[in-house]
Amino acid sequence: MNTNFQSWIQTQMEELKAQNLYKSPPILESPQNGRVKMGGRMLINLASNNYLGLANDPRVVQAAVQAAQEWGAGAGAVRWLGGTNTLHETLENKLAEFKKTEAVLVFQSGFNANSGTIPPCFGEGDVIISDELNHASIIDGVRLSAAKYKKSDGYVYKHADMNHLEEILKRCGEFKKRLIVTDGVFSMDGDIAPLPDIVSLAEKYDAVVMVDDAHASGVLGVNGSGSTSHFGLYGRVDIQLGTLSKALGVVGGYIAGSALLKKWLINRGRPYLFSTALPPAAIGALIKAVEILQTDPQPMERLWENTRFWKASLEDLGFDTMGSETPITPVFCGDEGKAQTMERRLREEGVFTVSIVYPTVARGKARVRTMPSAMHTRQDLEDALTAFHKVGKELGII
């Protein structure tokens, strides 16, 4: 091994630790549920994206087992080289019906869906206008494009600021195509994009709209079908990205839009062209998860009941939840060291949650991110609130 390289890594790691930015993944010893086992202890789980509990729903698990038994452990190839089977076709048709679009193309992850869609659709002579708080997968997808996009060139608008967005659009008339891209629900703040205003501006200035609904899927809209449904904007959003790994509980991502868009991405979406397809077990589980979303309203009802209780209770205790409108509920700390101390102390008090620090959020904007879900009982949440009150007082956050 190259000793200079190893020494460089060590130095960088020490700098991260000194700045309270070092991360180490927690290891779970039980399935995702309202409480999970870690280090031999049961902790209240407020860190999971498993909004509806579908990751370990017996119906979804059985569908995964059945698909693996029938189709095998792996897809065996990339999608266009023989890795597509009738399960993929069934899932994509169900998702298109769910999203009320002409077509859907499934990718290996939501991250891949962004990087597989933005570059082939927008390039030389185009411009991409992005919300400053967009997810890293959007940012990386944009960077892979040959379009103009840099903040330093004035193509990133202040978060949810429609006046700023319009100012940018006014000076982008010379570009061949204009893309406005936004999260539907912002993953670290929990607020909802002003999608009706974005769509109206896009129609006024002849721009394309792309919405990343990773955290709106299963949370907003009819049966959890996302932010386009939530605002009644069917047919007015050109590209919708959804995840299959959060509320749907498995893995993968997809793009919903026109049939023509799907055909183009099959031919030019690089993750689709060069990565092996999702395994049959995942596809079988996802088909069942979509069916549950369409027919069983109870998980989504429990999610929102728990969300309303959790947010109101935290605010009553004096915590700043940063204007969150969705189950994503940040607890503002500001200082990175304080956020990491709060994570550690909460875990000692029996609550599993994660501190969010730079570069995931801006410096000085550190927070502990909490995620109530359909899996939690009222007792789970009340016990967690007792711990938050104790630790918040201890650290001077409330």
Both 288 and 301 in one domain: the answer is no
Both 81 and 31 in one domain: the answer is no
pLDDT tens sequence for the chain (398 residues): 899 999 999 999 999 999 888 888 889 999 999 999 999 999 999 999 999 999 999 999 999 999 999 999 998 999 998 889 999 999 999 999 999 999 999 999 999 999 999 999 999 999 999 999 999 999 999 999 999 999 999 999 999 999 999 999 999 999 999 999 999 999 999 999 999 999 999 999 999 999 999 999 999 999 999 999 999 999 999 999 999 999 999 999 999 999 999 999 999 999 999 999 999 999 999 999 999 999 999 999 999 999 999 999 999 999 999 999 999 999 999 999 999 999 999 999 999 999 999 888 889 999 999 999 999 999 999 999 999 999 999 999 99
Find the catalytic residue in 94, 215, 311, 365: 215
Both 195 and 331 in one domain: the answer is no
For residue 1, being part of any structural domain is answered with no
Both 146 and 240 in one domain: the answer is yes
Looking at residue 156, its pLDDT comes to 97
- Between CA 368 and CA 382 the distance in angstroms is 18
For residue 7, being part of any structural domain is answered with no
Please name the helix (run of DSSP H) or strand (run of DSSP E) that holds residue 304, with its range, or none. Answer: helix 298-317
Both 40 and 79 in one domain: the answer is no
Both 272 and 326 in one domain: the answer is no
Q: At what angle do helices 280-295 and 58-71 cross, to 10 degrees?
A: 140
Please name the helix (run of DSSP H) or strand (run of DSSP E) that holds residue 180, with its range, or none. Answer: strand 178-183
Looking at residue 331, its pLDDT comes to 97
Q: Which two tokens stand for residue 147?
A: 């379009």
Looking at residue 22, its pLDDT comes to 86
Both 314 and 228 in one domain: the answer is no
Q: Pick from 295, 319, 337: which residue ends a domain?
A: 295
Cα separation of the two ends of the chain: 49
For residue 6, being part of any structural domain is answered with no
Q: Which among 49, 305, 323 has a CA at the least distance from the CA of 192?
A: 323
**What backbone phi and psi angles, to 5 degrees, belong to 212?**
-95, 105
**pTM across the whole model:** 0.93
Split into its structural domains, the chain has a count of 2
Both 101 and 142 in one domain: the answer is yes
Rg (CA), the chain: 21
SS3 214: coil
- Between CA 253 and CA 85 the distance in angstroms is 17
Query: Which residue's entry shows tokens 């169900």?
Result: 94
Assess whether 152 carries a catalytic annotation: no
Both 247 and 202 in one domain: the answer is yes
Sign of CA dihedral 303, 226, 56, 50: negative
Both 206 and 313 in one domain: the answer is no
List of residues 6+ apart from 381 with CB closer than 8 A: 44, 306, 309, 310, 313, 372
Q: Are 154 and 178 in contact (CB under 8 A)?
A: no
Q: Which two tokens stand for residue 380?
A: 């789970």
Both 325 and 240 in one domain: the answer is no
383 - beta bridge partners? none
Assess whether 246 carries a catalytic annotation: yes
Assess whether 30 carries a catalytic annotation: no
> How far does Cα 132 stand from its chain's mean position?
16
For residue 306, being part of any structural domain is answered with yes
SS3 376: coil
For residue 104, being part of any structural domain is answered with yes
- Between CA 81 and CA 66 the distance in angstroms is 24
For residue 356, being part of any structural domain is answered with yes
Looking at residue 21, its pLDDT comes to 83
- Between CA 241 and CA 142 the distance in angstroms is 14
Q: What domain range is 279 assigned to? A: 58-295
Find the catalytic residue in 145, 187, 229, 324: 187
Looking at residue 360, its pLDDT comes to 85
Find the catalytic residue in 99, 148, 246, 365: 246
CATH of the domain at 39: 3.90.1150.10
